[in-house]
């Protein structure tokens, strides 16, 4: 794969990351995060031990979370095999999150993202706390 293809996927990954966490951390926009998950496509999603198998499951789970504030420390986007035109990539994110006024938690998130009908959707999502940090 040419270097330009990697650069293109990196750009798409950063754009997706910016949109995703901006929506997730905004209480007025959080319900829209579910629209980033592929509708009517089998998906695998686990948020810190909570399996979510439908877009409605994702919407309900995210609505149950308190206010969040994510600080992203690392983002990596890698094209997946048979990736014609940057249509699918693996996005890995690492950072810290604060829920309401609690202490910081280090987290890791891995998403498989694919383009359908000119939009990018999450097909697979794994979000996990790694450790807790005193403020």
Q: In terms of residue numbers, what domain contains 97?
A: 3-129
Counting the structural domains of the chain, the total is 1
Does residue 120 fall inside a structural domain? Answer: yes
Does residue 135 fall inside a structural domain? Answer: no
Structure tokens, 132: 């807790």
State which residues of the chain have pLDDT below 70. Answer: 1-5, 83-86, 132-135
Does residue 34 fall inside a structural domain? Answer: yes
Strand partners of residue 116: 119
Does residue 69 fall inside a structural domain? Answer: yes
pTM over 0.85: yes
């Amino acid at each position: 794969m040419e270097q330009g293809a990697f650069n293109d996927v990196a750009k798409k990954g950063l754009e997706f990351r910016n949109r995703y966490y901006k929506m997730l951390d905004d209480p007025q926009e959080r319900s829209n995060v579910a629209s980033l998950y592929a509708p009517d496509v089998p998906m695998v999603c686990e948020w810190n031990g909570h399996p979510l198998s439908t877009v409605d499951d994702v919407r309900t789970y995210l609505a149950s979370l308190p206010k969040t504030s994510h600080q992203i420390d690392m983002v990596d986007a890698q094209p997946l095999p048979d990736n014609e035109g940057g249509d699918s990539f693996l996005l890995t994110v690492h950072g810290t999150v604060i829920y309401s006024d609690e202490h910081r938690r280090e987290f890791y998130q891995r998403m498989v993202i694919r383009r359908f009908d000119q939009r990018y959707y999450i097909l697979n999502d794994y979000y996990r706390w790694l450790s807790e940090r005193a403020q």
